[in-house]
Chain A
Amino acid sequence: MRKMLAAVSRVLSGVAQKPASRVLVASRSFANDATFEIKKCDLHRLEEGPPVTTVLTREDGLRYYRMMQTVRRMELKADQLYKQKIIRGFCHLCDGQEACCVGLEAGINPTDHLITAYRAHGFTFTRGLSVREILAELTGRRGGCAKGKGGSMHMYAKNFYGGNGIVGAQGQIFEAYNMAALWKLPCIFICENNRYGMGTSVERAAASTDYYKRGDFIPGLRVDGMDILCVREATRFAAAYCRSGKGPILMELQTYRYHGHSMSDPGVSYRTREEIQEVRSKSDPIMLLKDRMVNSNLASVEELKEIDVEVRKEIEDAAQFATADPEPPLEELGHHIYSSDPPFEVRGANQWIKFKSIS
């Protein structure tokens, strides 16, 4: 009885501080928010950097958790579908790097523009596409976000320019740095440093691995890419920097991918299983957020488990759809070559095979 009264009084006193719209029916109350210390970022040409503490609301925390778990489970489902040969070609997974795409999105607006390389499934989701559309694109079906025409590396959404297959071009990035700085373009250059370029470690490929300094005259931040709050704060800082008219800025997110470079790379010929296991057990981004939330009473273990169950179901349903949805119709092979043009004829494998092309 006394315990119950104590619990009720805690609840009631909690109610008094919260806005009137808040309904408290649960037998347990959570904190509304909590303050966390985050790692200080290394700075290049900056007097000060992002704050070293941040406030995480329960609502945001649950949302980030759900999003990261969704990306994680979606990538693992893609792994499974690839091994079943339902996904073909190239498939570059980002499990381990969830804090990057989710943290980034948390620090920018939906109206900002984002472009990335081929490890793009996570960004496609955080930029607003559904798991259904993403998985159906991976399986090459008409319900895919690119109607099955693009595949893993070529997914697009509003203010999201893919998904691009051709990378490297180290010269090009320096050209981009130069013009962005010259014209003070509001551009955040982000390096997801997962320590390896395909099968080559950064030490074997880069004369300087301090990527956040490589913009030279462009200021830079080196960020703990496994901590979503760190990524969020750094992104907020970088975005504010750009929006204030100061020009471009660089962010190096130190992160890690559990899978190999792609599904055809086992990922253990150039790094040890011990290394992968160590990152998983000490720095997993989902685990880090979960521990923080549980330990500061922002959420309960059961509640997060419930989210896990919901996410699993969402992924299962999406995978079902992605496997059952039919392939695009053959008649559409020639569509979407040009934009805003009148229809024309497209040649097939010989002069007697013709396809119609509609914009």
Chain B
Amino acid sequence: MSTPRGSLESDGRFEETSLDASSFTPLFILVTVREAINQGMDEELERDEKVFLLGEEVAQYDGAYKVSRGLWKKYGDKRIIDTPISEMGFAGIAVGAAMAGLRPICEFMTFNFSMQAIDQVINSAAKTYYMSGGLQPVPIVFRGPNGASAGVAAQHSQCFAAWYGHCPGLKVVSPWNSEDAKGLIKSAIRDNNPVVVLENELMYGVPFELSSEAQSKDFLVPIGKAKIERQGTHITVVSHSRPVGHCLEAATVLSKEGIECEVINMRTIRPMDIETIEASVMKTNHLVTVEGGWPQFGVGAEICARIMEGPAFNFLDAPAVRVTGADVPMPYAKILEDNSVPQVKDIIFAIKKTLNI
């Protein structure tokens, strides 16, 4: 008849799928990060009528980056709302709605514009449950593209992972691939706390395989749990968002030289899954962190500090090393921009230096 059909589980088991025509889902389909976020929002909008999306151009324009394509057509004016260009204003409206019991998704066209509204994110959303002694939750999602794009210059290229990751009361996630994107947006929407979802514009159009499990409407990626994207023995390489792909590229190159990197995709910035990183460092004895943001007070700096405070410190054979964006406002000219973001060659260099090769 036919070969058994099913999926390979992460622990190596082969789970056979029953061949029921009505429940057939393809093993893997290709889904772009954009489509994944769209699907995640669509499923949550359908599941809970309290969920709604607001932001600039999200409705009739289908989204500045087309992430909300089709949603206005499907859900209408009451659930998908175009706002004027007033970040402080509409972020405040969204926080108020969350306090009153709705579940808003507040889109910032890029997180650079969130600076116009940052008081609402921090003082009105993040701190409120604490300040009220546990009385007033704020179940809101702030989402949008974060970090460098291509040629958009200084005011449109900043990474906000460190700034938002600094604040107690906020949860901050940073998806890399389609599975991350879909699973994290769904978890974020279902979370009763303010969650900042840092997407990446350059990743929107990148397709990834989505497993049949991930295609399910109940598929969630838990907030606060990192994922080991590639097993390795010589060095731990930790990253979030687009640079995860660069780390995997570096790992492929180094594998040919006999160096096996363990690549960890953080998925969540706050609360940070330091345990997964520690366990990995205790195995490999070496650590390199990779991020797109600036070095000072960054995500990598926090990882290094925590490693020193925990059990993994004594397992380090060399100081931990950070690969980051250059410590400059993002320049426009291509040659300068290319050298202001972490490239695969910078990651490889840092890994070899750490391993003393």
Contacts and interface: CB of A to CB of B under 8 A. Distances in A.
Nearest to A204: B82
A300 interface: no
B310 interface: no
Interface in B114-135: 115-116
Contacts of A39: none
Contacts of B89: 170-171
Interface stretch (A23-31, A101-109, A160-168, A230-238): A160-168
B336 A327 contact: yes
A337 B328 contact: yes
Contact of A333 (B86, B326, B350): B326
Contact of B339 (A89, A90, A349): A349
Interface residues of B, number: 49
B323 interface: yes
Interface string A95-136: 000000000000000000000000000000000000000000
A269 to B, nearest CB: 7
A171 B88 contact: yes
Interface in B321-342: 321-329, 331-336, 339-342
Given A89-B149, A350-B350, A200 B61 contact: yes
Most buried by B among A144, A206, A334, A350: A350
Contact of A350 (B87, B88, B152, B322): B322
A328 B322 CA distance: 27
Given A330-B339, A349-B341, A349-B342, A200 B82 contact: yes
B346 A349 contact: yes
A135 to B, nearest CB: 13
Contacts of B329: 337
B155 interface: yes
B14 interface: no
A267 to B, nearest CB: 11
A349 B295 CA distance: 8
B87 A200 contact: no
B328 A88 contact: no
Given A150-B154, A333-B331, A334-B328, A349 B323 contact: yes
Contacts of A146: 332
Given A140-B332, A270-B61, A327-B335, A200 B324 contact: no
A333 B85 contact: no
Contacts of A148: 331-333, 336
A200 B321 contact: no
A333 B84 contact: no
A352 interface: yes
6 contacts: A89-B150, A148-B331, A152-B332, A166-B155, A169-B87, A170-B84
Interface of A: 88-90, 137, 140-141, 144, 146, 148-154, 164-171, 197-200, 204-206, 269-270, 327-328, 330, 332-334, 337, 346-353, 355
